[in-house]
Chains A and B, each alone.
Chain A
Amino acid sequence: PHTNKFAVALLDDSVRVYNASSTIVPSLKHRLQRNVASLAWKPLSASVLAVACQSCILIWTLDPTSLSTRPSSGCAQVLSHPGHTPVTSLAWAPSGGRLLSASPVDAAIRVWDVSTETCVPLPWFRGGGVTNLLWSPDGSKILATTPSAVFRVWEAQMWTCERWPTLSGRCQTGCWSPDGSRLLFTVLGEPLIYSLSFPERCGEGKGCVGGAKSATIVADLSETTIQTPDGEERLGGEAHSMVWDPSGERLAVLMKGKPRVQDGKPVILLFRTRNSPVFELLPWAGPQAELPTSRCTLSMPSFHVLAQCLGGPRNPLLGVEALFMTCPSLLRHPQPLPLGTLSQGHHLFCPTPHIPTS
């Protein structure tokens, strides 16, 4: 979260760490590292990476100044608990102290203290395991989605939760505002973005989530036809994942590819947002003000797409660094697409001229 580094998990159970400022690509392998489901960098540290594996969680401590391409297994710490396998989702606390892990088999979320290797299970509920964990940037709340039509919002002081049943389907994705007071989420099967607000906490020293009574719909992403200088284009559909930039001004939504829209290619929609005094979500008009939405279209000729959206902290204008990689097979090295990476996060390069650069 602080440097321009990212980690990619490959199908051969290894993890590679790419650094924008060096050509060395350390490859992390461990005998327990199988079926990697999730990766998470630890905040407030130089190079601590948590890897969620089939049977355990591995915490890799990488020396940022080392030149080795194959860090030894001694750099990895194994966190495991019987019954908590496979681990599919990880979330570090923004203050860097605690790690949450979730497994679809184990209904309880576990809170780990990594240095002492102790864990505490949170109260568990029926209804399947937990699929995804998302911590709010201010460290106060956690969104926990489940495979059923319910998601829970936990507060991080006394660790109590609120239960939110959705109308249809499970919560597909969510993102928090930087101050933790608003949650935007989408539901599988619906092209809508919902918003849930959490007013200031009710009392200090007491745990309460304090969510509003119901969620409101703030955006409708159904398919529409847009007139562009190149002709008609269709946009819209369901959201696959969303990311809010750390300054709270930009929202990026990755749309699922649909056959009628853009020939099945995934699309990113960018919105301008404001959280105070009132919440508003507007399509982002870049320098080309005549376009209702700025969108970037990227062609991705592959069937495995690993998209990792990182919010760059030094990025006031375009708060998203988006990186697209193809990892089709074990044999080929993953290559960044020609329209991939950003070095300092100010530009999103793209061959099509529609993208506003800033």
Chain B
Amino acid sequence: MATAVSRPCAGRSRDILWRVLGWRIVASIVWSVLFLPICTTVFIIFSRIDLFHPIQWLSDSFSDLYSSYVIFYFLLLSVVIIIISIFNVEFYAVVPSIPCSRLALIGKIIHPQQLMHSFIHAAMGMVMAWCAAVITQGQYSFLVVPCTGTNSFGSPAAQTCLNEYHLFFLLTGAFMGYSYSLLYFVNNMNYLPFPIIQQYKFLRFRRSLLLLVKHSCVESLFLVRNFCILYYFLGYIPKAWISTAMNLHIDEQVHRPLDTVSGLLNLSLLYHVWLCGVFLLTTWYVSWILFKIYATEAHVFPVQPPFAEGSDECLPKVLNSNPPPIIKYLALQDLMLLSQYSPSRRQEVFSLSQPEETAFQTPKSSQMPRPSVPPLVKTSLFSSKLSTPDVVSPFGTPFGSSVMNRMAGIFDVNTCYGSPQSPQLIRRGPRLWTSASDQQMTEFSNPSPSTSISAEGKTMRQPSVIYSWIQNKREQIKNFLSKRVLIMYFFSKHPEASIQAVFSDAQMHIWALEGLSHLVAASFTEDRFGVVQTTLPAILNTLLTLQEAVDKYFKLPHASSKPPRISGSLVDTSYKTLRFAFRASLKTAIYRITTTFGEHLNAVQASAEHQKRLQQFLEFKE
């Protein structure tokens, strides 16, 4: 692709991204900043807890709230939240990246972008912990305090000592920030799951708030415990460094040093550190959840562009072009919703190919009646790639499927490193939206003889002599390495993860299926011009082919086993079971069409095998 063409494309995609998502991002940031005073108030109240003097406790807390320095801390914390939100925005993904092997997981964590993310989060964590420590007042507020011990010189020369509690606070903050970032990537928290039902944003937020607070409390407890262990062993390093750098003394008489067991068992310190952790995690999770809620809200794309300039955003254009993934997801979600709930928009869909259309709309009219058929046609291509693993298995049968997976894993070791597209390569299909040049690249990197290169009908290139010598050497090295257990430990692919990776963008296809089947079912009564019904044979053909491919895929060893489900956790793991949702929605889509049309379907042109399957669906025998 020429760069001259790609630059306007990139510019257009950023443009449409900003137009659709812009106000959502800004609104979510504003709301997370507005939530901050509530969090801070609760934090102040809990940090001054004094159960024996409740009235004084509450009045002290509220009087502290009105003091001027708290306003300064509000501003500082707002800046922190804004920075965290910006990171949320930069790192989100609608398609989860699932590492298939341990090496890929390590690669994901030590990727430079992720390292920067972790570093910034650690720094922000330290800033927040500093604010929290200062707001707490008391003995935790300052890093440097005058020493209280008497010295042998007799003169009360004010020596400055290191306040180890404050240092402990700062380091805990940094540790929590770093752990948050680590868990963010390991648990795929940058994945944006779309809600299964549409609800008003406030209701969604209210429902998740309680779970969020509970989760923060528990996680803070674990992090404090981990950090205490870390500090016990390694706490002397920062202590020594700070005290020599700032020329401070360590006062041993006021309190015990913290890197001992007796020092660490200071309940007041632990309580305040835990509370600081809860405050930090709650505010960060709130900004994350607000971003998720705002970003996954349904967006209404106009079916017919009202003006010529708005044509970029209209539904057929978005579905047929290659916009950023989230725009495509939102468009497909909108298609699904309009096909079920909006009779007037459905009428627009069904009416687009009227002869009295204006001239500039006519080129698009042929696209609109089948906005989803192109994606679905591609889906069927995608699925025919899914069926090629059956071709691979004879190659590996003497060794069992696990060895076969490992062999396939070795072949893909270079390509599986940190890239979201790579897990697909084990199942040897280029991803749905890759261009032709990428397809050629994957052919080169995949020297397995039974590849789908022939199955896909691509022409095999005549290998040159040097190329074949290089391939032989590569195979020899890989065979040698495969016998080393340590290498295998890192490179072996986890079958469940590979299967999840194949279906990681299935949500898009599920919506396309639902939208298409609802439109076809509605067209039985609402389509006056036969716009959809002329394409009915093609649609049925595609759906039945897809059904066959999915059935074949689910016969593979690990495909039909469900991963264990943890309920009540903040982390969303619905991407792990997307393949079942895909299979179920495909079946429901076919049934929807057969029950609506009934016996009329016998008049549709289809191959003999498809006729047989259709008959089975009509008799409810599937």
Contacts and interface: CB of A to CB of B under 8 A. Distances in A.
Given A97-B514, A139-B340, A159 B198 contact: yes
Nearest to A206: B200
Interface string A121-165: 101000000000000000110000000000000000111100000
Interface stretch (B177-185, B394-402, B573-581): B573-581
A116 interface: yes
A121 B204 CA distance: 10
A106 to B, nearest CB: 14
B345 interface: yes
B197 A44 contact: no
Interface in B280-320: 298, 300
A98 B197 CA distance: 9
B342 interface: yes
Interface stretch (B116-124, B458-466, B587-595): B587-595
A140 B340 CA distance: 10
A118 B574 contact: yes
Given A46-B620, A97-B588, A120 B196 contact: yes
B622 A46 contact: yes
Interface-central residue, B344, B568, B578, B588, by most chain A CB under 10 Å: B588
A116 B576 CA distance: 8
Contacts of A159: 197-199, 203
Contact of A116 (B514, B567, B577): B577
Contacts of A256: none
A120 B195 contact: yes
A169 to B, nearest CB: 30
B577 A115 contact: yes
B591 A117 contact: no
Interface in B315-350: 340-342, 344-345
B483 interface: no
A96 interface: yes
Given A97-B514, A116-B578, A205 B300 contact: yes
Contacts of A113: 196, 574, 581
A45 interface: yes
B565 interface: yes
Interface residues of B, number: 37
Contacts of A44: 588, 591-592, 595
Contact of A45 (B203, B340, B588): B588
B620 A2 contact: yes
A114 interface: yes
Contact of B581 (A2, A115, A121, A140): A115
Nearest to B574: A116
Contacts of B514: 97
Contacts of A47: 620
A82 B567 contact: yes
B361 to A, nearest CB: 23
Given A46-B620, A139-B340, A118 B587 contact: no
A204 B199 contact: no
B621 interface: yes
Contacts of A118: 196, 574
A203 to B, nearest CB: 10
A158 B202 CA distance: 12
Contact of A95 (B340, B342, B345, B565): B340
B621 A46 contact: yes
B198 A96 contact: no
A111 interface: yes
B585 interface: yes
B463 to A, nearest CB: 44
B249 interface: no
A23 interface: no
B406 interface: no
B286 to A, nearest CB: 19
A217 to B, nearest CB: 32
Given A45-B587, A158-B199, A64 B621 contact: yes
A68 interface: no
B484 interface: no
Nearest to B592: A44
A111 B584 contact: no
B510 to A, nearest CB: 9
A65 interface: yes
Interface string A96-115: 11100000000000010111
20 contacts: A2-B620, A3-B620, A44-B588, A46-B621, A96-B592, A114-B584, A115-B577, A115-B581, A115-B585, A118-B196, A118-B574, A120-B196, A123-B207, A140-B341, A157-B198, A158-B199, A158-B200, A204-B342, A204-B345, A207-B200
The 7 tightest CB contacts between A and B, nearest first, are: A115-B581, A115-B580, A44-B591, A113-B196, A115-B584, A46-B620, A116-B577
Interface of B: 195-200, 203, 207, 298, 300, 340-342, 344-345, 514, 518, 562, 565, 567-568, 574, 577-578, 580-581, 583-585, 587-588, 591-592, 595, 620-622
Given A115-B585, A157-B198, 5 more contacts: A2-B595, A98-B196, A113-B196, A204-B342, A207-B200
